[in-house]
Homo-oligomer: A and B are copies of this chain.
Amino acid sequence: MIAYLGPEGTFTHEAVRRWVGARAGGGDAAQQPLATVREVHDAVASGAADRGVVAIESSVEGYVVPSLDALVGSPDVVAVDEVVLDISFDAFVRPGHADPSGLREATAHPHGLAQCTRFVAERGLLPVPASSNAAACRDLADHQVAFGPRLCGELYGLETLATGVEDFAGARTRFVVLCRRDDATAAWAPARAAGHGSASEAWRTMVAVTPVVTGPGVLARVTAEFAERGVNMSSLVERPLKVRERQYVFVVTLDGAPWEPQVRDLFAALLGAGDSLKVLGAFPVAPGGPGLDGVLPDHVPTGSVLGADDDATVARGLLW
């Protein structure tokens, strides 16, 4: 059974179907929507579910911190695969009511409404918030348009009025597939047997590094260990520990698999320095490249200054 953050018809549900569809014979697995990330973790940890699926990172909002914290906090659950989805909204109407003149309201989760403002404005619709996009589709009235993933049309028997109605195309969300820590090696076996992993960019690993001592030099020491071994960090997130003020856990996503020599050597060096470590997940890089690289919204640090700039420009940029 595959547990996921529901309700049915969410983008997470779409990620589950995508992941199942890509695996031979995987189509038979039951799929169970749950209400919270915690419940998905608990279902996986207890063995009630073989796999769990939750969103971990969005190109618009960055890391999904509750999902990240759950992975950091869980002793028994680990990520063994990832799914990257384009986040695109379709506009649905009830069957037989696609006549635009009778449509007066647009309904979706407030986030969905916020992402489809142009469509709403152009058609002069009144926005009506729903508890989820899926709920908006399920409970759709004759005078309403609902926004949701493509899946919702099929799930709730709706007609598609328009596709790709989001204001800005190109948003993506990354989902992780969770399993019990003790089952991880078996979960990876098919990809390893298929030869996935010949290049060091073929896998990515998420690891939580909790340094023993804190202070100005701690991140410099940890990053130096990566640099010395040529292990590339593709992302680094820092989360403070509540229990110990000014102490942090660093969640690093690195290029490589935990069993590869340069990664093993890195882990051994960090352990040798007294750091506490936990691998949170490892997964083959999806076709098309790692994670959300290259699809994130543009946020060039406009107004940045360089050493070669004149003094006044530098002073304005640095406010020193």
Contact = CB atoms under 8 A, between A and B. Distances in A.
Given A220-B226, A227-B216, A278-B305, A245 B293 contact: yes
Contact of A320 (B221, B224, B259, B320): B259
Pick from A74, A109, A320 the residue with the most CB of B within 10 Å.
A320
Interface stretch (A14-22, A153-161, A190-198, A268-276): A268-276
This chain's copy number in the assembly: 2
Nearest to A58: B65
A191 to B, nearest CB: 14
Given A232-B216, A303-B181, A65 B74 contact: no
A100 interface: no
Interface string A50-81: 00000000001111011011101111101000
B296 A242 contact: yes
A319 B192 CA distance: 14
A229 B215 CA distance: 12
Nearest to A260: B320
A141 interface: no
Interface in A302-320: 302-307, 314, 316-320
Given A231-B216, A245-B293, A299-B72, A258 B62 contact: no
Nearest to A254: B216
A301 interface: yes
Interface centre among A70, A113, A231, A318 (most CB of B within 10 A): A318
Contact of A319 (B66, B78, B293, B318): B78
Interface in A254-290: 258-259, 263-264, 267, 271-272, 274, 276-279, 282
B130 A240 contact: no
Contact of A274 (B181, B239, B300, B307): B307
A73 B302 contact: yes
Nearest to A132: B110
A75 to B, nearest CB: 3
Given A113-B131, A227-B221, A73 B301 contact: yes
8 contacts: A61-B66, A75-B303, A208-B301, A216-B231, A236-B236, A242-B296, A258-B318, A276-B306
Interface of A: 60-63, 65-66, 68-70, 72-76, 78, 109-110, 113, 127, 129-132, 181-182, 184-185, 207-208, 210, 215-217, 219-221, 223-224, 226-227, 229-243, 245-246, 249, 258-259, 263-264, 267, 271-272, 274, 276-279, 282, 292-307, 314, 316-320
